[in-house]
Amino acid sequence: MLKVVDLNVAYGSIAAVRGVSFDIAQGEIVAVIGPNGAGKSSLLLAIAGLIKPRSGSIEFAGKNIASKQAEILVSEGVSLVPEGRHIFGSLTVAENLALGATVRRDWPGIASDIERVLAMFPVLKERYRQRANKLSGGEQQMLAIGRAMLARPRLLLLDEPSLGLAPLVVNQVYQAILDLRQSGVTVLVVEQNVSRALAAADRTHVLSFGAIAMSGKSTELAGTAAFDAAYFGVSREAGRA
Amino acid sequence: MIFAQNAIDAVSLGAVYALAALGIGLIFSVMRLINFAHGELIMAGGFTLYGLVAQPLLVVILAVLIVTAVLALGMERIAFRPLRKANPATLLISSFAVSYLVQHIVLMIFGSRAMGVPFLPELGTSVEFLGLRVPRLQIVTIITTLVLMAGLVAFFRFSRIGLQMRAAAEDFTMARAVGVRANRVIAFAFAISGILASMVSFYLVAQTGSVSYKMGVNMVLIAFVSSVIGGMGSVAGAALGGFLVGIISVSLQAYLPADLRPYRDAFVFMIFVLFLFWRPDGLLMSRADRDRV
Amino acid sequence: MSDPVFRPLHTAAILIGILLAVVLVATQVAPAMQRTVIEALVKLIVVVGLYIFVGNSGVFSFGHVAFMAIGGYMSAILTLSPERKHTLLALPAALEALQLPWPVAVPIVIVAVGLIALLIGWPLCRLRGIALPMATFALLVITYVIASNWQQVTGGRQALVGLPRFTGLWVAFGGAVIAIVVAALYAMTRHCLMLRCSRESEVAAAATGIDLERERLIAFVLSAMVAALGGVLFSHFIGTITANSFYLDLTFVTLTMLVAGGMRSLTGACLGVAVIAFVAEVFRAIERGVSLGDVTIAAPPGLQEIALAVILLAILILRPEGLLGSYEIGLPRRHAADRRVAAKQEG
């Protein structure tokens, strides 16, 4: 479904993503993990169309999307839940969710999707008419995911969904991610929280200094010395994907 | 009674300032651009009035609305869209450049002398009301402003594009990330600011009976001060700022000793500077316009 | 002298050399052209003054024209004849009687403006973010309103006439030299370096212990003094002074000159003045018209200003860092290491 080939993202002269290539098949949950500054967010921002990559290609469902703008990509089925949630604090929960459906015009479908999201995250139903900045961190994360779901994405990009959240809340969030996969959504998760990512994902890539240092089935990666080395960048020579 | 008279003056002047401030604040909220050329939108409205003053009222009003909206959209498309990612200082200077440009184009075509425009002279008469003499123009201004503001609030609250604009004002990038079309939202903001500018030009021309190529300059300065004071980016903020400046301005005019009255605008700006020290983000703080560390 | 710390002086020397050449050529041309050169030199002084603050701090200021006005009016009062002052103004007797020769008056005025700038700048430089530019804008408006209304001291809306016109080619050149030298000497100080560090991020600079307010204030005062020098020479070039000359239009022209050449470089500031002055002259000629036989083809007046605005917009859109960016003209670098450092700094 998603095919990234030799992607390079740079800010001025600073290379954030260097020659990254990987695939995601439909219905998979793939995790990209790595320490701070590894380039994970930049990778997601490039796929989501918020940053223009220096070079390389990004193919989604057969279409080349590397140069497309974020607004268009949402219609194509790519939705981003950015790091730090970025919910619209001054707007209500209801308005935030409605905004998720910006690109859609099927009102009955939107209404039923809102019902589904509220069923999935009952706390949002309680706070439906409240301003979003009154929500706790965990509730905001759920709102952000719910909002992204309202675009009926085919590919959901999540940037550090567990950041700053209590473990119990993280459970809920990851449960929601698994439920999403049930309904046919492909998920790309970027995480610093290694154990969560490995537990939820089918396959995992380790990003170190902008390049993929290691990849494999999550079950195979955990606990190996090679994995630790790749994650912490003990050797700066990045391995091949 | 003088106090009540002044109060009405303050309210009607405040209403005009609020409209002007809103024009500036709206664009700032979606683009972080302080549009100095907003004054030229007002001026263009005025000159349209001058050109069409013989036509039926409805035609004139419609023409002004269209001209200012088109000019606003043109500015956006030609000068500001290419600069969308620029830093605030560059944006500010560019709006200055557009302002200068439009002023001198009009100067070239119409010359530098102010020209009389008898627009709605019937509003110059006053009505007796509770022992006060209130100019009809002021009543019309206050009512129109209230209606317009109510309409805008409703627009932002209940319409899809209004919601998108509010989202864009809060977090432009995130709005794009949920699919809000940047170009559409910004175009709407400019079009609305054009309409707001035309309202101000109606008032100015009716009040002064003349137009000149520099007529927008003073108003944009006041609008700018008002929107900073009120907090750029919200209808409430612009309204608050506009009314405050209107009140300050009228009060200064009324209560300053006669020989200090010509300096009224200097006092307004001095108060503005003091205000910058007290509340640099405006009275109604609109979300994080300052550097987040 | 080949130590990199002296580079600003190299730049200054080269710029002054170029200006000297221009002025020497100008002594040989028609008076009309000479006047253009003088005017350009005076604008150069103002733009260099603007650069000292804006270029080094990264903060836009709209107040330089206000200091031009203050300097110009002070100098007018000190140099006009008592009779004229009696007719046009209503000054206290001591001031009215006072008439100084200009070489005495000008330094006094500059120092006075420096003190005023210190007084005004002290609170202003405490403002952060966009508040400081807005405050300088307020300064411009306030100065304009006061100047246009204070009948007794400035003549209000009426122009003050009869100023001694001492700004000739060499005086203007002298002023330009002073401006460039001040900018260069300042650039060599620690203060300027610290200010430049703050250009990118106020927060980072504060975190490294740089006293942002003080550094900005120093640049602000220097900038005001140089701008005032420009204002003085400007008024004494035209021979009259009126509040209307020192408002938004002049602010716009000077800002355009700075941005066009490159906001972050002294050379850029000078180049910007040269380019804009040249373009203005070309359009002035077009406005005067080209005669083909009996027919004169002329452009309508106002074309010059329109061209100016279009140029500025084009530069902002296409090359926002200006023609030169941060490039400073200088002697060729002796050592390869210096060249690499320079390439990094300017890249």
The residues in B 51-110 lying below 8 A from C, measured between CB atoms, are 79, 82-83, 86, 88-90, 92-94, 96-98, 100-101, 104-105, 107-108
User: How many angstroms away from the CA of A80 is the closest CA of chain B?
Assistant: 7
Q: Which amino acid is at C171?
A: V
Q: Which of C98, B174, B23 is nearest to A50 (CA)?
A: B174
Q: How far is CA B236 from CA A55, B17, B172, B273, in A?
A: 46, 13, 20, 22
Q: Cβ B277–C313 below 8 Å, yes or no?
A: no
User: How many angstroms away from the CA of B12 is the closest CA of chain C?
Assistant: 24
Q: Which residue has the tokens 């560390």?
A: B293
Worst-scoring range by mean pLDDT, A190-194, B206-210, B247-251, C329-333? C329-333
- Distance in angstroms (rounded) separating the CA atoms of residues C210 and C56: 14
Helix, coil or strand: residue A20: strand
Given a contact cutoff of 8 angstroms between Cβ atoms, the answer to whether A205 and A214 are in contact is yes
Q: Cβ B108–C302 below 8 Å, yes or no?
A: yes
Q: Cβ B92–C202 below 8 Å, yes or no?
A: no
**Nearest 10 degrees: Cα torsion A127, A129, A133, A139:** 30
Give per-residue burial for B22-55: e unless 16+ CB within 10 Å, then b.
bbbbbbbbbbbbbbbbbbbbbbbbbbbbbbbeee
Please name the residues in contact with C35: beta carbons below 8 A apart, sequence gap of 6 or more. Answer: none
Sheet bearing A55-60, strands edge to edge: A14-24, A2-11, A55-60, A63-64
Helix, coil or strand: residue C319: coil
Instruction: Among A48, A50, A98, select the one facing B163 at the smallest CB separation.
Output: A98
Which pLDDT score, from 0 to 100, does residue A239 have? 46
User: How many CA within 13 A on the CB side of residue C346?
Assistant: 17
Which pLDDT score, from 0 to 100, does residue C333 have? 59
Instruction: Give chain A's residues under pLDDT 50.
Output: 235-241
Q: Cβ C316–B270 below 8 Å, yes or no?
A: no
Q: Cβ A50–B173 below 8 Å, yes or no?
A: yes
**Nearest 10 degrees: Cα torsion B256, B262, B264, B266:** -130
Helix, coil or strand: residue A157: strand
Which pLDDT score, from 0 to 100, does residue B176 have? 92
The residues in C 170-199 lying below 8 A from B, measured between CB atoms, are none
- Distance in angstroms (rounded) separating the CA atoms of residues B245 and B243: 5
- Distance in angstroms (rounded) separating the CA atoms of residues C268 and C266: 5
Give per-residue burial for A1-12: e unless 16+ CB within 10 Å, then b.
bbbbeebbbbee
pLDDT in tens, A99-126: 999 999 898 999 999 998 998 888 899 9
- Distance in angstroms (rounded) separating the CA atoms of residues C312 and C322: 10
Which pLDDT score, from 0 to 100, does residue C324 have? 76
Vertex C327 angle, CA A11 and C12, to 5°: 155
User: Token pair for residue A69?
Assistant: 């703008």
Q: Cβ B93–C312 below 8 Å, yes or no?
A: yes
CB atoms within 10 A of CB B3: 8
In chain B, what is the straight-line distance between the N-terminal and C-terminal CA atoms, in Å?
A: 52
Instruction: Among C149, C248, C255, select the one facing B93 at the smallest CB separation.
Output: C255
Ramachandran area for residue B260 (φ above 0: left; ψ -120 to 50: alpha; else beta): alpha
**Nearest 10 degrees: Cα torsion B179, B183, B185, B188:** -150
Given a contact cutoff of 8 angstroms between Cβ atoms, the answer to whether A21 and A241 are in contact is yes
Predicted structure pTM score: 0.86
Q: Which residue has the tokens 């209801």?
A: A94
- Distance in angstroms (rounded) separating the CA atoms of residues B115 and B200: 18
Helix, coil or strand: residue C20: helix
Instruction: Among B175, B179, B182, select the one facing A103 at the smallest CB separation.
Output: B179
Which pLDDT score, from 0 to 100, does residue C337 have? 55
User: Token pair for residue C188?
Assistant: 């060599």
CB–CB contacts below 8 A, B to C: 106
Instruction: Give chain C's residues under pLDDT 50.
Output: 346-347
Cα Rg for chain A, rounded, in angstroms?
Answer: 17
Given a contact cutoff of 8 angstroms between Cβ atoms, the answer to whether A233 and A209 are in contact is yes
DSSP C270-299: HHHHHHHHHHHHHHHHHHH-EEETTEEE-P
pLDDT in tens, A134-163: 998 888 998 999 999 999 999 999 999 888
ipTM: 0.87
- pLDDT over threshold 50, residue B289: no
Please name the residues in contact with C247: beta carbons below 8 A apart, sequence gap of 6 or more. Answer: C65, C140, C144
User: How many CA within 13 A on the CB side of residue C38?
Assistant: 22
Average pLDDT estimate for B2-13: 85
Q: Band of the pLDDT at B290, cuts 50, 70, 90?
A: very low
Q: Where are the domains of chain B?
A: 2-216
Q: Cβ A151–B178 below 8 Å, yes or no?
A: yes
Given a contact cutoff of 8 angstroms between Cβ atoms, the answer to whether A92 and A132 are in contact is yes
- Distance in angstroms (rounded) separating the CA atoms of residues C247 and C240: 16
Q: Which of C68, C54, C113, C18 is nearest to C269 (CA)?
A: C54
Among positive and negative, which fits the CA dihedral B251, B253, B258, B261?
A: positive
β-pair type (A29-33, A186-191):
parallel
- Distance in angstroms (rounded) separating the CA atoms of residues B202 and B43: 10
Residue B189 bridge partners (DSSP): none
Please name the residues in contact with C13: beta carbons below 8 A apart, sequence gap of 6 or more. Answer: none
Give the chain B residue nearest C128 (alpha carbons): B280
Which pLDDT score, from 0 to 100, does residue C341 have? 59
Instruction: Among B89, B107, B280, select the one facing C60 at the smallest CB separation.
Output: B89
- Distance in angstroms (rounded) separating the CA atoms of residues B88 and C246: 25
CB atoms within 10 A of CB B6: 16
- Distance in angstroms (rounded) separating the CA atoms of residues B228 and B237: 9
Q: Where are the domains of chain C?
A: 4-246
- Distance in angstroms (rounded) separating the CA atoms of residues A154 and A80: 11
Average pLDDT, chain B: 87
User: Token pair for residue A219?
Assistant: 């079950």
Q: Which residue has the tokens 């401006």?
A: C179
Which pLDDT score, from 0 to 100, does residue B273 have? 92
Burial class from Cβ neighbours inside 10 Å (0-12, 13-18, 19+) for residue C305 reads buried
Q: Band of the pLDDT at B235, cuts 50, 70, 90?
A: confident
The residues in B 126-165 lying below 8 A from A, measured between CB atoms, are 160, 163-164
Q: In chain B, which ranges are E strands? A: 115-116, 126-129, 132-135, 210-211
Q: Cβ A75–B179 below 8 Å, yes or no?
A: yes
- Distance in angstroms (rounded) separating the CA atoms of residues C176 and C19: 9
- Distance in angstroms (rounded) separating the CA atoms of residues A125 and A146: 11
- Distance in angstroms (rounded) separating the CA atoms of residues C65 and C243: 11
Given a contact cutoff of 8 angstroms between Cβ atoms, the answer to whether C232 and C245 are in contact is no
Chain C residues whose beta carbon lies within 8 Å of the beta carbon of residue B253:
none
Q: Cβ A86–B174 below 8 Å, yes or no?
A: yes
Which pLDDT score, from 0 to 100, does residue A236 have? 44
B291 at C interface, C-beta within 8 A: yes
Chain B residues whose beta carbon lies within 8 Å of the beta carbon of residue A89:
170, 287
pLDDT in tens, B42-100: 999 999 999 988 888 899 999 999 999 999 999 999 999 998 888 777 888 899 999 99
Chain C residues whose beta carbon lies within 8 Å of the beta carbon of residue B262:
145, 149
- Distance in angstroms (rounded) separating the CA atoms of residues B38 and A107: 38
Which pLDDT score, from 0 to 100, does residue A165 have? 85
Chain B residues whose beta carbon lies within 8 Å of the beta carbon of residue C300:
108
User: How many angstroms away from the CA of B269 is the closest CA of chain A?
Assistant: 31
pLDDT in tens, B123-162: 778 888 777 788 888 889 999 999 999 999 999 999 999 9
Q: Cβ B287–A48 below 8 Å, yes or no?
A: no
- Distance in angstroms (rounded) separating the CA atoms of residues B124 and B134: 10
- Distance in angstroms (rounded) separating the CA atoms of residues C302 and C319: 25
- Distance in angstroms (rounded) separating the CA atoms of residues C59 and A218: 51
Given a contact cutoff of 8 angstroms between Cβ atoms, the answer to whether C179 and C229 are in contact is yes
Give the chain C residue nearest B91 (alpha carbons): C316
Q: Cβ B171–A88 below 8 Å, yes or no?
A: yes
CB atoms within 10 A of CB C290: 11
Q: Cβ C145–B291 below 8 Å, yes or no?
A: no
- Distance in angstroms (rounded) separating the CA atoms of residues B218 and A72: 42
**Nearest 10 degrees: Cα torsion C142, C143, C146, C148:** -120
The DSSP call for residue B289 is -
Q: Cβ B280–C129 below 8 Å, yes or no?
A: yes
Burial class from Cβ neighbours inside 10 Å (0-12, 13-18, 19+) for residue A154 reads middle
User: How many CA within 13 A on the CB side of residue B150?
Assistant: 6
Chain C residues whose beta carbon lies within 8 Å of the beta carbon of residue B79:
313, 317
Instruction: Among B79, B266, B277, select the one facing C313 at the smallest CB separation.
Output: B79
Subunit partners of chain B (3 or more CB pairs within 8 A): A, C
